[in-house]
């Protein structure tokens, strides 16, 4: 692609800024960083709304996450950033001094897309964390409607940066081990999903991203997310090699956040150092209050009968935070309905869109042994957070309630699969509480050819 002289100068200038910022790391002056200079005039260097310096750095360094985690924070809203579009925040607010979505009274509302936060306004942000495949996308879209401001994401694929009212992420899962946002998040909300469907959903996203190994490769595939499920043989191959460990990571992930960053092995044993001292993630000792203020579930969030109440749990812990302009609670139910109704207009794609391409969800089956192992892990979480000091912890008891439901659903499927394996029931039976009706949407036609590394 040929670029104008002005664009060429602008992109080379950004490359120079990165070289100055990163060049003192001598080992990286050549290699990935020099590769970045060679590609500095590439067509995808800048976000369509604003310069995305941090994503470009990630892309240029080929996801050298351990290195990037030590870098100074360079966000799209950095100081002295002449290219940043100036937003007239006052023109975006009504008489009640809040962003675009409007309270029309009597529980009625008008929903419109969010806008960027004013970079000069301090904000006490919320980190929405969940195991990959736990449906955080729906939740952050709903929160955008309530706050009127853009969401962020841990790898900043959105280009919205980290100066946001809320951000979704999967730290410290092995798909999200880097911490780019310093101390810009103030509190945590944990979202869970039945692992029976979280694991297949996670693997589906990996398929849709063509099993990307770098930030750039993943970013180039964003448009394909929520468009098709991978073949069943890929699912079966993954189960044979990785199912048990990933299931342990699912429960390990919950432990990490509930215990405020306490480090454990995947088999739940504590990691001890020195004189049998426990280890707490350094980010939970100053950057963020890691213990969740509340726990929500994807199943409750996507169900119209429970969704507004589930959304309200997060909205309540965000209300009153500095820089968070939350719309009146009387409109939360209305805005919930509006976001789901405007799905195609606002790119709100959910699992049913995948039904148009690839196998149906029920075809991602589990054996009785796999379901039994899954039950063990869910019961571990249920039993641990039902007893002792956790019995009086509100967030823990929310978590226990969801685990109780998951145990019931997985146990029911286990009984069916046992009968199938003994030849008593036809294949294809499954349990699900996640159905939601959304308008059909055509998926891109490109076939995924890359193999999983």
Between CA 234 and CA 361 the distance in angstroms is 14
Q: What is the pTM of this model?
A: 0.72
% of residues, the chain, pLDDT over 70: 66
Q: What number is the average pLDDT over the span 211-230?
A: 84
Each residue's pLDDT tens digit, 270-314:
999 988 899 999 999 989 999 999 999 999 999 999 999 999 999
> Are 153 and 167 within 8 A, CB to CB?
yes
pLDDT in the model for residue 434: 46
DSSP, collapsed to helix, strand or coil, labels residue 63 as coil
Contact 39, 60 (CB under 8 A): yes
> Under a CB-based contact definition with an 8 Å cutoff, are residues 295 and 399 in contact?
yes
pLDDT confidence of residue 103: 59
Distance between CA atoms of residues 80 and 84, nearest Å: 9
C-alpha 68/C-alpha 418 separation (Å) is 48
| Residue 191 binned pLDDT confidence (cut-offs 50, 70, 90) | very high
Q: Is the pLDDT of residue 220 over 90?
A: no
- Reduced to 3 states, what is the DSSP secondary structure of residue 304? coil
Q: Does the pLDDT of residue 440 top 70, yes or no?
A: no
The mean pLDDT of 20-46, rounded to a whole number, is 35
pLDDT at 74 over 50: no
Q: Which residue has the higher pLDDT, 2 or 227?
A: 227
Pair of tokens at residue 165? 């009212």
pLDDT beyond 60 at 134: yes
- Return the minimum-mean-pLDDT range out of 113-117, 237-241, 249-253, 347-351: 347-351
Q: Given a cut of 90, is residue 53 above it in pLDDT?
A: no
The mean predicted confidence, pLDDT, of the chain is: 75
Instruction: Please give the pLDDT value at position 424.
Output: 61
pLDDT digits (tens, 9 = 90+) for 367-422: 999 999 999 999 999 999 999 999 999 999 999 999 999 999 999 999 999 998 98
The candidate with the shortest Cα–Cα distance to 15, out of 27, 42, 31, is 42
Q: Residue 346: is its pLDDT beyond 60?
A: no
For residue 50, give Cα distances in angstroms to 39, 141, 373.
Answer: 19, 20, 47
Report pLDDT digits (tens) over 98-126.
345 665 666 677 777 788 999 999 999 99
pLDDT at residue 249 above 50? yes
Task: Please return the burial class of 431, using the count of CB atoms within 10 Å of its CB with bins 0-12, 13-18 and 19+.
Answer: middle
User: Two tokens at 64?
Assistant: 């050298």
Look at residue 279 in the predicted model and tell me its pLDDT. 95
**Taking the CB of residue 66, how many other CB atoms lie within 10 A of it?**
9
| Omega cis (within 30) before 185 | no
- Highest mean pLDDT (candidates 4-8, 209-213, 222-226, 355-359): 209-213
pLDDT at 52: 34
**Alpha carbon separation from 174 to 32, 281, 295, 345 (Å, rounded):** 22, 15, 22, 33
> Regarding predicted confidence, which is higher, 106 or 54?
106
Residue 243: which of 374, 384, 77 has the closest Cα? 374
Query: Per the structure block, which two tokens stand in for 364?
Result: 């991602």
**Is pLDDT larger for residue 139 or for residue 432?**
139
pLDDT at 275: 85
DSSP alpha helix (H) spans, 279-330:
298-302, 307-318
**Looking at residue 101, what is its pLDDT?**
61
């Amino acid at each position: 692609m040929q670029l104008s002289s002005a664009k060429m100068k602008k992109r080379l200038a950004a490359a120079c800024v990165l070289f100055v910022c990163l060049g003192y790391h001598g080992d990286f002056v050549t290699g990935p960083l020099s590769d970045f200079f060679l590609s500095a005039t590439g067509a995808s260097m800048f976000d369509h709304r604003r310069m995305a310096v941090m994503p470009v750095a990630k892309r240029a360094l080929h996801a050298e996450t351990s290195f990037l985690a030590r870098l100074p924070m360079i966000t799209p809203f950095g100081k002295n950033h002449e290219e940043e579009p100036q937003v007239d925040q006052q023109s975006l607010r009504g008489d009640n001094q809040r962003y675009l979505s409007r309270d029309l009274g009597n529980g009625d509302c008008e929903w419109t897309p969010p806008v960027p936060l004013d970079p000069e306004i301090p904000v006490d942000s919320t980190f929405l964390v969940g195991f990959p495949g736990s449906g955080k996308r729906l939740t952050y879209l709903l929160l955008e409607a309530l706050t009127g401001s853009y969401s962020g994401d841990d790898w900043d694929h959105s280009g919205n940066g980290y100066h946001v009212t809320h951000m979704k992420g999967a730290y410290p899962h092995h798909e999200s081990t880097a911490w780019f946002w310093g101390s810009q998040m103030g509190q945590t909300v944990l979202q869970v999903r039945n692992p029976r469907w979280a694991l297949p959903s996670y693997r589906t996203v990996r398929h849709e991203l063509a099993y990307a190994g770098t930030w750039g490769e993943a970013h180039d595939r964003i448009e394909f997310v929520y468009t098709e499920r991978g073949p069943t043989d890929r699912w079966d191959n993954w189960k044979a090699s990785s199912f048990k460990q990933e299931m342990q990571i699912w429960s390990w992930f919950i432990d990490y956040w509930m215990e405020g960053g306490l480090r454990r092995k995947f088999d739940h044993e504590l990691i001890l150092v020195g004189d049998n001292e426990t280890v707490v993630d350094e980010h939970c000792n100053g950057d963020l209050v890691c213990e969740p203020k509340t726990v929500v579930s994807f199943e409750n969030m996507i169900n119209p009968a429970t969704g507004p109440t589930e959304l309200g749990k997060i909205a309540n812990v965000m209300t009153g935070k500095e820089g968070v302009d939350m719309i009146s609670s009387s409109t939360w139910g209305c805005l919930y309905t509006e976001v789901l109704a405007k799905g195609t207009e606002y790119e709100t794609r959910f699992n049913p869109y995948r039904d148009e391409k690839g196998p149906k969800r029920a075809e991602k089956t589990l054996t009785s042994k796999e379901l039994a192992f899954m039950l063990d892990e869910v019961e571990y979480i249920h039993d641990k957070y039902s007893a002792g000091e956790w019995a009086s912890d509100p967030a823990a008891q929310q978590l226990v309630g969801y685990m109780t439901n998951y145990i019931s659903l997985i146990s029911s499927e286990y009984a069916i699969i046992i009968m199938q394996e003994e030849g008593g029931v036809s294949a294809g039976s499954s349990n699900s509480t996640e159905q939601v009706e959304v308008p059909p949407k055509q998926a891109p036609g490109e076939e995924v050819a890359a193999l999983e590394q």
